[in-house]
Every structure is written in C-alpha cells, then in structure tokens.
Amino acid sequence: MCGIIGYVGNRDVVPVLIGGLKKLEYRGYDSAGIAVVNAKGVDVVRAEGKLINLESKLGEMQLHGNFGMGHTRWATHGKPNENNAHPHRDCTGQVVVIHNGIIENFLPLKQKLQAAGHEFKTETDTEVVAHLIEEKMNSGTKFVEAVKSAIKELEGHYALVIINGAEPGTIVAAKHGPPLVIGIGEDENIVASDVAPLLEYTRNIIYLEDGEFAVLDQKKVEIFDGEDKLVTREPKRILWDAVMAEKEGYRHYMLKEIHEQARAVRDTFTGRMFEESGQVFFNDLQFTSEEWSKFRRVHIVACGTSWHAALVGKFLLEEAARIPIEVDYGSEYRYRNPIVDEHTLVIGVTQSGETADTIAGMQEAKRKGAALVTICNVIGSAATRMSDGVIYTNAGPEIGVASTKAFTTQLTAFYLFSLYVRQLRGESRDDIRFAMHEMLVIPHKIEDLLLKQEKHIEELAHRFYKSQDFLFLGRGVHYPIALEGALKLKEISYIHAEGYPAGEMKHGPIALIDENMPVVAIATHTPVYEKVVSNLQEVKARDGKLIVICDEGDEAMKKLADEVIEVPWTVEPLQPILTVIPTQLLAYYIALRRGADIDQPRNLAKSVTVE
Ligand code: M6R
C-alpha cells in the first residue's frame, strides 16, 4: 500500500513525479522519495512524513532530468523515517528500487547477501531487491536479465519499479500482487500504482498481470510473462479525466465525494435499468435464468466499508433470491475453509479492486469452483480481472481515505443486482418497475437531504465534537449503517465509536449510557420502527444524548430525541443510501472541528494491498 511512479520521456521529471505522487499519496503518506537520473548520475532525495516535506527539500535543490521514479510509503518493515523511505539502492548506488508490498523471504536473502559482502543501510525488506540485482550483475549478467533472475527468488507480494543509473532511459517494472499500470504516451511512457497520475499524459493504459514484467523506454513498452514470453496486449482507453480526481473548491476530497453522491448513484444505475420494459441489463455480467437457478448459496466477501455494503446487500439479495447468503470479511473467509462448490456464487465487493484480503478470499472461492462476480469501482483492477462478471460502480475516482460515494454506489449496485435476480426468477414486471421508479428519484432525494441537513449537522458536530465515545444504533437494513457510521467517525476523528443492532444494546452496551454518551440512531419507518423506538426509550431513560436519523415529519421522534436529522422517505431497501449520508457528514464535521487530517487519517491508507 504504497504509491509508485516511474517516468521516461522529454519532460522535466521532478514535477511529473511530484504531481504523480500527490495523486498517489492516499495510498500511504508516512514518507516519500524520488530518484532522478541525469548526466551527473543518480540523485535520490527522501523525506520523512508527508509529500510536502519532500517538496520543501526539493525546493532548495536544482534537480533536473527526464528519467526517474518516485514513491510514497505506508510502512510495513522498518519505522516510517527518512532512512527507510524509498527509493533504496544497492552498494554502488546505481541500482535503485521502489516497491509496494512485502518480500516475505527478505531475511534469508539479506543474510545471504550480507555474507557475500553487501552492506545494508535500512530496515526495509525492499533493500534486499537492489542488492540481489547487484549480486547478479556482479557476475556479469546484464541489468534487465539480472532483474528477471532476482525476481524469481522473491517470495511474497510486490509491485516493483527499478532503474539503473548506468543504463539511463530504461525502467523495469514487475508485478506479483499489488497493482501496476502503464500509460502509453507519445515519446514518453509512465508506470504507476493506479491510473490517476497517468491521465495528465495519456488515456491509453495497460494493466500488468501477476507474474508479468515490463521494460519501458521513451519509445516502447515490452511486456513479458512469467515464462519470459513476449505478451501482446492492447491498451485500454480510460474515460475518467484528470479533473474528476481534483478537489474542485471543496476543502477536502471527502466533502467533495459526499456531495458527488447524487451524480455517482445516478451514473451507477443509468443505462442498466429500463423503467418502460421493467428490465435490468449489465454489460459485464449476464446470467440466464437456468444458470441462476443452479446457485444454492451466495457468499459475499469484502473488507471495511465494502463489508458494510455487503451486509446491506445480503438483505436485498436474500429477499430477491430466496437462497442462503453469508457475508464474510476477506481476511476471515480465506482461512475458514468455507463450503464452496460450483453451485456457489461468490461476490467480491471492493472499491479499489485491489484489497489483498478480499482478493485472496475471491481466489480461494475460485479455486473451489465458485462463480465469481465483483462489485467494483476501478476498471481493469485485479478483482475485475479474475471475475466471471462485474458490476462497476461508476463512482469515479475516490481519493479520500474514508469511503463515501463508493459505499452508496455499492448499495445502488446491490439494489440493481437484486432487481436483476428478481427478473431472472420471473417476478412481475410491474413490481420491478415500481422498484426502479424509486431508484430513479433517489439522486434528487440525496440532493434535497444535503441541502436541508448539512448546516444542521455541522452545528450538531460543534456541540458533540468533544465527546469521548459514540454509540450508533440501527436495526435491519440500518444495522450496517450503524456500523458504517461508527467506522467513519473513528477513522477520521479518532473518537471511539461502536455500531450495534439497537435490539442488542440491552445485552451489554446499555451499561455505557449516561449523560455524556451521544447515541446516534437510525429510526426510519421500517417494519421494526416501533421496536427501535422502544430501544431509544431505553437510552432516554438513562439520560443518553439521542440524535436520531428519522423520516421527514416524524413528530413523535422529534419529541423523543434530543436532536433529529430528517431524511426524505423512500422504500426500505433504498433507505440506507439516504440514512448513511448524515453519518458521513457528522463524522466529517466532527473531524474538521477536531483539526484532524480528514483525507489522510493517521495509520491508514486508501488501498490495503497487504494481508
Ligand atoms: O477498496 P476496498 O473497498 O476493498 O477497501 C476496503 C476497506 O479497506 C475500505 O472500505 C476502508 O475500510 C475505508 N477506509 C473505509 O472508509
């Protein structure tokens, strides 16, 4: 979970690298560094902390060249300090390496290389790669061949970009696990961890596959498979433009992305559901009714916010499919020996499409014969490439580490999928049409909600931002929203928060409630509304501070709660798309008030590509 970029062409490379790293900083931000090759040799500049520290260091130097690479780090091996920041070098200083992932056998390799006289300067696993290549070159092997041979000795997961100061103009890239994409430009080529830094230069992108190896120079890109055979692959044309990934005047990406949700949800259903005919259609996923009827169970695998979307998805799909559905964390699924066969459908839910735990769970399911579908936001990402079918969430690039629009578009994708399943099972077109109509008006309701409630939520944040703990309660489809609300608050404000099913509160968490405990409850009109009201009475009886997300005009709730946040009415399966938005805003404004680093919270990274 680091950001990687390498460039070769005619441009001054330092601004290209720094501009690219800014777009990759969400992947890790505990240190950063660049390597630039010019007539004087290889210059490596690194700095602890955020990219801005590296920028100010570079500001004092006159560093130029048109070939180099950069890295922004999320530490795994070795403290996040300048010495451990990438790039790392061999003993000669000519072989320079940046890396995302973990080299699992770095210790035995390091011991072997130390015994052969190599001197290590850092605590990282990455440095071993530079020395290993050097060792191969010492015995006469040419640079590119030495890299190929060194990589065969590595165990673990890596995306590597390597240059040799003695061979300017050649970049070598290798992938086994974490993503690497190559942008094919005119008289320039560029490689990075994702497409965002490439879009300024080209829209023609090649995704490297696991086990592949690429050699780039200014004029060409050659890709080789694990057996060293040349691979021919047409570039994909990426339609996201660079501006979509900028802040557009918002103070933080998170706030911008919260406000983009009406558009993102609309883009996710547009062109897939046709109200007139009552039909749902997916470009990248097609089942016949016969194929669908063979499934006996569905497993949904995901992490973090995507796992919360999966919990809502279970409600929607189980209702539509009437077969058992289980939801697992990716990190648990792969190790629990799940019962999976060719009658199992496994759905991986992942914004990035590169979360290592989710991918591993999906791989395990595939190995056992399951059909794989992914709900994913990133075209061509690892999850999509291994799946039999994909439902893309057209959220556009999500940069804020705290996931917002990815979540509401995942809920939209699940809703569409549930309609698709109802269609496959021969349900009445009229019922499906009604369900579609409700989806069509959701974007307006999101806009309305933001317009009417944002200011009020900001005020609430000002009142509650000093609280030490929060409890979030919900039942049914809103239980996952309680979990998501708690996750959002803790990850960006660092306030302890727990999400609980409201009915479960009396079995333990009720002991926490007193006049200092804010309780955020979701209590819209669902079949369990009255039950939730009883649970909220229990909170009030113990002087808890009750903030309730309820339907517009719920007068009874206004009397019971200390504060209400009203959301427009919609049908139960779509309510989570609306009720989650106040929790996102509350977390955002509380974090803002506490002066937290909202887009890049401490210890986190946008894509978790390690286990
Ligand atoms: O890219 P993914 O959806 O697979 O990511 C999964 C989680 O790492 C992610 O949702 C994480 O929990 C976010 N920080 C939540 O805001």
Do residues 233 and 251 both lie within one domain? Answer: no
Catalytic pick among 2, 303, 376, 550? 2
Q: Is ligand 1 within 6 A of the CB of residue 306?
A: yes
Domain match, 216 and 319 both = no
Burial class for 458, CB neighbours closer than 10 Å (0-12, 13-18, 19+) = middle
Report how far residue 348's alpha carbon sits from residue 371's, in angstroms, rounded to the nearest whole number.
11
The finding on whether 358 has its CB within 6 A of some atom of ligand 1 is yes
What is the rounded average pLDDT for all residues in the chain? 93
Ligand 1 in reach of 350 Cβ (< 6 A): yes
Q: Is 381 in the pocket of ligand 1 (CB under 6 A)?
A: no
Q: Which amino acid is present at 582? A: P
Phi, psi of 33 (to 5 degrees): -165, 160
φ, ψ of residue 331 in degrees (nearest 5) = -70, -20
384 lines ligand 1 (CB under 6 A): no
Query: Residue 34's domain spans which residues?
Result: 3-239
Residues 140 and 186 occupy one common structural domain? yes
Instruction: Assess if residue 604 is contained within a domain.
Output: no
Helix axes 479-493, 304-321, angle to 10 degrees: 170
pTM for the model stands at 0.75
Q: Which of 216, 239, 262 is the last residue of a domain?
A: 239
Cα–Cα dist 426/418, whole Å: 13
**What DSSP string runs through 356-392?**
HHHHHHHHHHHHTT-EEEEEESSTT-HHHHH-SEEEE
CA of 606 to the centre of ligand 1 (A): 7
Task: Take atom 11 of ligand 1 and give the residue whose Cα is closest.
Answer: 304
Span 595-602, average pLDDT: 91
Answer whether residue 433 is part of any domain.
no
Could you give the dihedral angle defined by the CA atoms of residues 459, 465, 466 and 472, in that order, rounded to the nearest 10 degrees? 110
For residue 429, pLDDT over 60 is answered with yes
| 606 in a structural domain | no
pLDDT for 474 beyond 60: yes
Which residues, other chains included, contact 189 with Cβ-Cβ below 8 Å and sequence gap of 6+? 7, 8, 9, 171, 182, 183, 216, 217, 218, 220, 221
* Distances from the Cα of 206 to the Cα of 192, 209, 579, angstroms: 11, 9, 39
Cβ–ligand 1 distance for 374 under 6 Å, the answer: no
- Whether the predicted pLDDT of 196 surpasses 90: no
Residue 410 Cβ inside 6 Å of ligand 1? The answer reads: no
Exactly one of 136, 314, 490, 606 is catalytic; name it.
606
Same domain, 466 and 590: yes
**H or E element, residue 258:** helix 253-259
Do 284 and 172 belong to one domain?
no
- Our mutation pick for probing the ligand 1 site, out of 305, 308, 404, counting the most ligand atoms within 8 A of Cβ, is 305
Reading phi first (left if > 0) and then psi (alpha if -120 to 50, else beta), residue 362 is in: alpha
**pLDDT tier for residue 139 given thresholds of 50, 70 and 90:** very high
Residue 362 included in any domain: yes
Give the residue from 302, 314, 299, 384 showing the smallest Cα distance to 345.
299
Q: What is the DSSP letter of 262?
A: H
Residues 307, 349 contacting (CB under 8 angstroms): yes
**pLDDT tens digits, one per residue of 505-562:** 889 888 888 888 999 999 999 999 999 999 999 999 888 999 999 999 999 999 999 9
Length of the chain: 611
CATH code of 175's domain:
3.60.20.10
Helices and strands counted in the chain (H then E):
18, 27
Does residue 540 lie within any of the structural domains?
A: yes
- For a pocket test of ligand 1, which of 608, 609, 610 has the largest count of ligand atoms closer than 8 A to its C-beta? 608
Q: Is the pLDDT of residue 471 over 70?
A: yes
- Indicate whether 591 pLDDT > 70: yes
Atom of ligand 1 nearest to the CA of 406: 3
Q: How far apart are CA 545 and CA 538, in angstroms?
A: 12
Tell me how far apart the 2 most distant CA atoms of the chain are, in Å.
82
Same domain? 375 vs 449: no
pLDDT single digits (tens) 34-51: 999 998 899 999 999 989
When pLDDT is cut at 50, 70 and 90, the band that residue 241 belongs to is: low
Q: Are residues 394 and 533 in the same domain?
A: no
Asked if the structure places residue 465 within a domain, the reply is yes
Is position 351 within any domain?
yes
Report helix, strand or coil for 300. Answer: strand
Residue 163 has pLDDT above 80, yes or no: yes
| CA nearest ligand 1 atom 14, residue | 402
pLDDT in tens, 523-533: 999 999 999 99
pLDDT of residue 240: 66
Q: Cα of 407 to ligand 1 centre, how many Å? A: 9
Is residue 393 lining ligand 1, measured as CB closer than 6 Å?
Answer: no
Residue identifier of the C-alpha nearest atom 4 of ligand 1:
350
Domain finish residue from 405, 427, 449: 427
403 CA distance to ligand 1 middle (Å): 6
- Of 222, 239, 256, the domain-final residue: 239
Which among 26, 253, 257, 303 is the best mutation to test ligand 1's pocket, defined by most ligand atoms within 8 Å of the CB? Answer: 303
Q: Whose CA is nearest to atom 7 of ligand 1?
A: 304
Task: For residue 256, count other CB atoms closer than 10 A to its CB.
Answer: 19
Residue 238 is classified by DSSP as: P
- Residue 136 catalytic? no
Whether residue 495 is found in the same domain as residue 518: yes
Paired tokens of 122:
């850092």
Asked if residue 332 and residue 376 are part of one domain, the reply reads yes
368 is catalytic: no
Number of domains comprising the chain: 3
- Residue 335's contacts (CB-CB under 8 Å, 6 or more residues apart) are none
Q: What tens digit of pLDDT does each residue of 253-300 get?
A: 999 999 999 989 998 998 899 888 889 999 889 999 999 999 999 999
Pocket test for ligand 1, best of 252, 253, 306 (most atoms within 8 A of CB): 306
Is the domain of 361 the same as that of 497?
Answer: no
Examine residue 458 and state whether it is found in any structural domain, yes or no.
Answer: yes
Please, are residues 205 and 181 in contact by the beta-carbon 8 Å criterion?
yes
Q: Residue whose CA is closest, atom 9 of ligand 1?
A: 304
604 Cα nearest atom in ligand 1: 14
Please indicate, yes or no, whether residues 232 and 259 belong to a single structural domain of this protein.
no
Q: Are residues 25 and 135 in the same domain?
A: yes
End-to-end C-alpha distance for the chain, whole angstroms = 10
Separation of CA 41 and ligand 1 centre (Å): 41
- Find out whether the beta carbon of 32 lies less than 6 Å from any atom of ligand 1: no
More confident residue, 341 or 396: 341
Q: What angle do CA 327, 333, 334 make, to 5 degrees?
A: 155
CATH number at residue 417: 3.40.50.10490
